[in-house]
Amino acid sequence: MEDISQILDSLNPIQREAVAAPTGHLLILAGAGSGKTRVLVHRIAWILATQQAQAYNILAVTFTNKAASEMQKRINQLLDGISTTGLWVGTFHGICHRFLRMHWQEAKLPNTFQILDSDDQQRTLKRILIAQGLDEKTWTPKQVQHFINNHKEQGLRPQHIHVEAHETWLKRMLSIYQTYDEHCQRNGLVDFAELLLRTYETLRDNDALRNTYQTRFRHILVDEFQDTNTIQYKLIQTLVGKDSHLFIVGDDDQSIYSWRGAKIENIQRINQDYPNTHLIRLEQNYRSTGTILAVANQLIANNKKRLGKNLWTAGEKGDPVYLYTAYSDLDEARFVADKIAEWQGKWQEIAVLYRTSAQSRVFEEALLQRNIPYRIIGGLRFYERAEIKDVLAYLRLLHHRHNDTAFERIINLPKRGIGDKTLESLRATARQHQCSLWDAIQHALASQQLTKRAATPLLSFSTFIEELSQKIAGQPLHEQIKQIIQQAGLVAHYQKDDPVDATRRQENLDELQTAAEQFEKLYYSEPDIISAFLAQAALEAGEGQSQAFEDCVQLMTLHAAKGLEFTLVFLGGLEEGLFPHQNSIDEGNLEEERRLCYVGITRARQTLYLCHSENRAQYGQRSNAYPSRFIAEIPRELIQEVRLKTAFSVKSSVAIDASFQLGDNVRHPTYGDGVIIEQEGQGELMRLRVAFSNGTSKWLLLAYTRLEKM
């Protein structure tokens, strides 16, 4: 009995009602931090501790693998000794994979079936497209991949899709879909979307198996239900038997994956499909301070399409929510990193959240400079991203023709019609002559061993590289990068490759130019700036892998932050066009952006900083940025502006010497001699970055510092 009281004691009365509810379907609709996930975990422990069912009778679905393992851990803690063997906790993908491994025969798969990840799926599609003699420009693997996955996520096979005689594009797509499915079936391959669809179909078509699972899973619990898609919903439906009990947990205000097929309507469907569902609302928030919660509530109240709820907390009002107006994105990152450096607790209690993955770079650099360990959750570090590596490979090859890795990466990017056979023969030539692939081209062309069809694209590639190399020689680094992107036609290539992903890639490419520009300012005296830049990029990409499980500041996009909580949260880039993102503004999808902002704010427990910058390098150029409308939607009295200006006004009589310029030699009473390498702001807000001869560099506020020109 001890276990049982422990399970209920740490809950409020309504949470307790949910956890100890008699069997039946339950929908818990509640705002952020109200204990939804906690209630779900305690419910499982309760069922087991009261022996209403065995672990074997329970299925729990989470949104991420991390959430699944945390859930399993918490349940074990609560149960202290009671067995949880047979309990299924996992993501939809994880659970379906497990199912198919057990029931490969019923699912008509070979028992050795393998999972095709997204990359492999694309490669497979590419081979099929080539084999069908389709023009790769019109039929890109990515586009076909989207088509197939999209339909699978809706539960649709080729034969389910209605097509009119004149719809030739659709007809062709369906035939590729068909061929692809046959190929996968023959070779025992299962892609991510197929895991779910195949599981669903197997259960749907096999009465005995379905009965077994419907009888087995007497309790089906789903977290983050607002972001389930069609096939996931169908799967749940198929598993619910006459004695099964649904325990569904969600928050319509946190639905942020509609762009990936999630259907917020699934919440309403629960009530229609299971009319006896009991609805429970949790309204007390246990995560955040009163002020943070008030900010979140006020913001989300601007959304019209809501099921409606309110959240309150018995906790303290806490600190105000801070708003920092930065001069630039660099200043924003510096501010955030400085605040983080002051933190007394563990690094892992801190999160830096942003709208687009490109924003991580400046934060990464600011943290690296201060030696603060960080980790990017659910994404790659900036310099590890494919499009960044593509451009850097060009830059490498242009400056070192014998870099074979760079050569291999870009020889056919974008497509140049250089076939695998030609490449293989180039590699053989290189081995034979012990030379680089670049030199192998010259050998191959000179020996005239190639067919004209193979030789022509090679010749034009080598001419292209030579010409580009001459063109960019002597130009500043960022200009070289810009030329590479333009001349190689990379933007068009990514657009073709994957229109959905192209904006994100474009943002990263723009960010790379900005990074180069900043690098030039910082290391303008470096004799070989290109090599220095490439070295830094390689180091930054490779760094931190070993820190993966250590105590780190967490950097992530808002989408990746769902369900998590942190003591201190920074929300960066609250600017019109960035957050809300321009695409969403254009598509009239503002409410989802606002929900995303709500998710971000409600991650914070104790302290929240909102940041925006007056100036941001975006889309390849620096331009004025305007505060996000979301800031305006928060009542002023809840916000305290962090203004360096206020500090200045005390000292406003200080005379500012505005004649300091980049490159000036200066002397500081404490730090000694140095050179001005960066400059920002004007008048009393002017800041200078000085590289001192002792090897350090510092940002100095001109109004405060005693700097002498030499």
Of Mg ion, ligand ATP, none, which one sits near residue 287, judging by CB under 5 to 8 A according to partner kind?
Answer: ligand ATP
Nearest one of 694, 689, 709, 697 to 328, comparing CA atoms: 689
Q: Which of 14, 25, 27, 33 binds ligand ATP (CB under 6 A)?
A: 33
The residue annotated as part of the active site, out of 43, 603, 616, 689, is: 603
Task: Please enumerate in sequence order all residues whose Cβ is within 8 A of that of 79, keeping only pairs 6 or more positions apart, or say none.
Answer: 3, 45, 48, 49
Binding mask 31-60 for Mg ion (x = CB under 5 A): -----xx-----------------------
Least distance from Mg ion to the Cβ atom of residue 236, Å:
18
Q: How many CA atoms are closer than 13 Å to the CA of 15, on its beta-carbon side?
A: 20
Segment near ligand ATP (CB under 6 A), from 36-44, 338-346, 515-523, 539-547?
36-44
- Residue 11 as a binder of ligand ATP (CB under 6 A): the answer is yes
Give 488 or 596: the residue with its C-beta nearer to Mg ion. 596
- DSSP bridge partners of 352: 555, 570
Alpha-carbon distance 160 to 335, whole Å?
55
Between strands 321-326 and 639-642, the pairing is parallel
> Near ligand ATP by CB under 6 A, which window of 34-42, 193-201, 686-694, 697-705?
34-42
Beta bridge pairs of residue 641 = 323
The burial of 240, by beta-carbon neighbours within 10 Å (0-12 exposed, 13-18 middle, 19 or more buried), is given as middle
DSSP helix, strand, coil percent of the chain (3-state; round to 5) = 50, 15, 30
Give the other-Cβ count within 10 Å of 97's Cβ. 19
Which of the residues 223, 390, 517, 565 is marked catalytic?
A: 223
What, of ligand ATP, Mg ion, none, does residue 12 touch, CB below 5 to 8 Å by kind?
A: ligand ATP
- Segment lying near ligand ATP (by CB under 6 A), choices 10-18, 59-67, 463-471, 511-519: 10-18
Burial class (CB in 10 A: 0-12, 13-18, 19+), 3: middle
CA distance 664 to 457: 50
Q: Contacting ligand ATP (CB under 6 A), which of 10, 268, 463, 640? A: 10
Measured distance CA(341)–CA(136) in Å, rounded: 50
In the complex, what is the shortest distance from the CB of residue 70 to ligand ATP, in angstroms, rounded to a whole number?
Answer: 10
Catalytic residue among 124, 254, 422, 429: 254
Does 572 interact with Mg ion (rule: CB under 5 A)?
no
- 265 is annotated as an active-site residue: no
Closest to ligand ATP by CB, 564 or 656? 564
The residue count for binding ligand ATP (CB under 6 A) is 19
By CB under 6 A, residue 315 contacts ligand ATP: no
List the one residue from 35, 155, 563, 674 that touches Mg ion (CB under 5 A).
563
Least distance from C-beta 325 to ligand ATP, angstroms?
Answer: 28
Binding site partner of 234, from Mg ion, ligand ATP, none, Cβ cut-off 5-8 A by kind:
none
Any catalytic annotation for residue 223? yes
Residue 664 CB-half CA count within 13 A: 16
CB of 36 vs Mg ion, minimal distance in Å:
5
Task: Please choose which of Mg ion, ligand ATP, none residue 390 contacts, taking the beta carbon within 5 to 8 angstroms, the exact cut-off set by kind.
Answer: none
Q: Give the other-Cβ count within 10 Å of 445's Cβ.
A: 14
Q: Which is nearer to ligand ATP, 89 or 537 (CB)?
A: 89
Which residues are documented as binding site for ATP?
Answer: 30-37
The single residue of 37, 64, 72, 606 carrying the catalytic annotation is 37
Rounded to whole angstroms, how far apart are CA atoms 637 and 650? 24
37 vs 232, which CB is nearer to Mg ion? 37
Q: Are 372 and 493 in contact (CB under 8 A)?
A: no
Residues comprising the binding site? Answer: 30-37
Of 543, 546, 545, 549, nearest to 69 by C-alpha is 549
The answer to whether the CB of 221 falls within 8 A of the CB of 61 is yes
Among the listed residues 7, 14, 15, 393, the single contact to ligand ATP using CB under 6 A: 15
- SS3 for 330? helix
Q: Is 435 left (phi over 0), alpha (psi -120 to 50) or beta?
A: beta
Backbone φ, ψ for residue 498 (5° rounding): -160, 90
Residue 563 or 580: the one with the smaller Cβ distance to ligand ATP is: 563
| Angstrom distances, CA of residue 406 to CA of 6, 403, 466, 493, 673 | 59, 6, 15, 18, 41
Cβ atoms within 10 Å of 274's Cβ, excluding its own: 18
Stretch that binds ligand ATP, among 6-14, 416-424, 512-520, 577-585 (CB under 6 A): 6-14
- Closer by beta carbon to Mg ion, 45 or else 484: 45
Which one of Mg ion, ligand ATP, none is in contact with 11 (Cβ closer than 5 to 8 A by kind)? ligand ATP
By CB under 6 A, is residue 37 in contact with ligand ATP? yes
End-to-end Cα spacing for the chain = 79
Q: Which of 315, 318, 320, 563 binds ligand ATP (CB under 6 A)?
A: 563
CA distance 230 to 232: 5
Catalytic residue numbers, as ranges: 36-37, 223-224, 254, 603
- Where do contacts with ligand ATP occur on this chain (CB under 6 A)? 10-12, 15, 30, 32-38, 251, 254, 286-287, 563, 565, 602
